[in-house]
Amino acid sequence: MMEEGTSEPVYGRRIAMNSSSYEKMKAALEEIGSDLETETFVPEARWLKLERDIESQSASGGISPEESIDLRQLLDELRLEHDLRMNPGTLGS
């Protein structure tokens, strides 16, 4: 979803237009963290979109290599937590 009048994606909550790309993507990941706290299922397409956004911003210089690593690590942690919550029977398999 695009915010009206901009080309910046909106991930379910309003994010200030002057925020950096890093802050916007971090907010999107934190929103997923909130969804996980309420045990909300996160569709695969949403994970893939966030991965592509991180890759795109990293390649274009919109985020630094350190920010890219931070976002990827957070994404991986959230995805693992999501998978464990949605598939509790797979623990220890």
Q: Are 75 and 47 in contact (CB under 8 A)?
A: yes
Q: Across residues 60-70, what is the average pLDDT?
A: 91
Quick one: pLDDT at residue 35?
Answer: 77
Alpha helices, H only, 1-93? 21-37, 44-60, 65-86
Query: pLDDT tens digits for 4-62?
Result: 444 444 444 433 434 588 898 898 888 888 878 777 788 889 899 999 999 999 999 99
Residues 6 or more apart whose Cβ sits within 8 Å of residue 43: none
